[in-house]
Amino acid sequence: MKPTNAASVSYRIRHSTRYQYADLVAIAHNEARLIPRDGPQQRAHSTHFVVDPAPSFMAREVDYFGNHVNLFAFDEPHLRFSLSAHSEVSVWAPSLPAFEQSLPWEQACQSRLDASQPEQLEALQYVFESPHVVWDASLRGYALESFAPGRPLLDAAFELTRRIHADFAYVPGVTSIATPVSEVLRARRGVCQDFAHLQLACLRSLGLSARYVSGYLLTHPAPGGERLQGADASHAWVSVYCPGHGFVDLDPTNDMLVGTDHTTLAWGRDFADVSPLKGVVLGGGAHTVEVAVDVTPAAGASGLAQQQQQQQQQ
């Protein structure tokens, strides 16, 4: 359900991917999560998913977490394939409580153990370790620097978001999906995927429920410059469960609350649940991948970082 009496920002999104193989691929089975999902602050109006060459099989389903999945397969030899996902979405700014009025984080941990409410039962599945979110004492220790006894959950979680932004350097290429969060903590560098996994590990190590969110972040050109086609990118952030208020999204890479510059594709326990594209191929050898993303404001879109900071201070 969309928020009432709230202005929305609309976007047109195009996500294109091209694979080129050195040798023939005999058979390939793939799944893509590139169609935005509806949520409390988002509504998808139209979607269009195209694969070239035409696959021998194509279907769409909804996975366990409620994400849209496009399945497609090739049973003819091929050296390349490309896909594009086109979507139009509207996004509303979240209505957030004053952070200092949220439950103390210890009470939030106890409250979510009451699985009598559907929302709390859903949140419970995001409190455990998952393939890419494994914690240890060092991660719990890092988290506890923000989570003093009795501190309101959202106040502490947002400080953790800010600390990760301040303490870690954004350096592409130094990590991979296989890099453990403990190594990210030690090296103090990575990319948005690493910082999301890191914050999830910190929150879950304390017994809090938090999920991984994939999507897009609108980029803004430098003053006087023009937006470059394909310059936007896939992004990742976290969503922490706050009893009484639901899930609240935080972006540690950019030190901000998630607002109308973000559009959501999917969510799950970690990246493994929401990978934009994955599959199995027979043959192919070496390959190259080209990805281009465009997030185009349809009308009156603007960054909300300043507005979000003002909400936090009120």
Which strands sit side by side in the sheet containing 233-242, from one edge to the other? 256-257, 246-251, 233-242, 210-217, 262-268
Mean pLDDT of the chain: 89
CB atoms within 10 A of CB 172: 9
Beta strands in the chain (DSSP E): 8-32, 42-52, 57-62, 68-74, 78-92, 169-170, 189-190, 210-217, 233-242, 246-251, 256-257, 262-268, 277-283, 287-299
Phi, psi (degrees; rounded to nearest 5) at 96: -105, 145
Please tell me whether the peptide bond between 243 and the residue prior to it is cis, using omega within 30 degrees of 0.
Answer: no
State the CATH architecture for 8-92+274-299. Sandwich (2.60)
Rounded Cα–Cα distance for residues 146 and 167 (Å): 13
The two domains 8-92+274-299 and 99-273+302-313 share their CATH topology (first three levels equal): no
* Runs of H (alpha helix) within 171-277: 181-187, 192-205, 271-274
178 in Cβ contact with 205 (< 8 Å):
no
Q: How high is the pLDDT of residue 111?
A: 77
DSSP assigned state of 104: B
How big is the CA angle at 12 (ends 38 and 9), to the nearest 5 degrees?
A: 65
Q: What does the pLDDT read at residue 287?
A: 95
pLDDT, tens only, 147-162: 999 999 999 999 999 9
Burial of 156 (0-12, 13-18, 19+ CB in 10 A): buried
The burial of 283, by beta-carbon neighbours within 10 Å (0-12 exposed, 13-18 middle, 19 or more buried), is given as: middle
Alpha-carbon span 210 to 214, nearest angstrom: 13
CATH class of 99-273+302-313: alpha beta
Q: Model-level pTM?
A: 0.89
| pLDDT the model gives residue 50 | 97
The reported pLDDT for the residue numbered 220 is 73
Whole-number Å distance between alpha carbons of 187 and 168: 8
Q: How far apart are CA 85 and CA 15, in angstroms?
A: 5
Instruction: Give 166's contacts (C-beta < 8 A, 6+ positions apart).
Output: 255
pLDDT in tens, the chain (314 residues): 344 445 789 999 999 999 999 999 999 999 999 999 999 899 999 999 999 999 999 999 999 999 999 999 999 999 999 999 999 999 999 988 899 999 999 999 987 666 667 777 889 999 999 999 999 999 999 999 999 999 999 999 999 999 999 999 999 999 999 999 999 999 999 999 999 999 999 999 999 999 999 999 987 766 666 554 444 678 999 999 999 889 999 999 999 999 999 999 999 999 999 999 999 999 999 999 999 999 988 864 344 333 333 333 33
The domain locations on the chain are 8-92+274-299, 99-273+302-313
Structure-derived torsion over alpha carbons of residues 266, 267, 271, 272, reported in degrees to the nearest 10: -90
Question: Residue 311: its pLDDT value, please?
Answer: 37
Structure tokens at 255: 């030190």
Amino acid 245 reads H
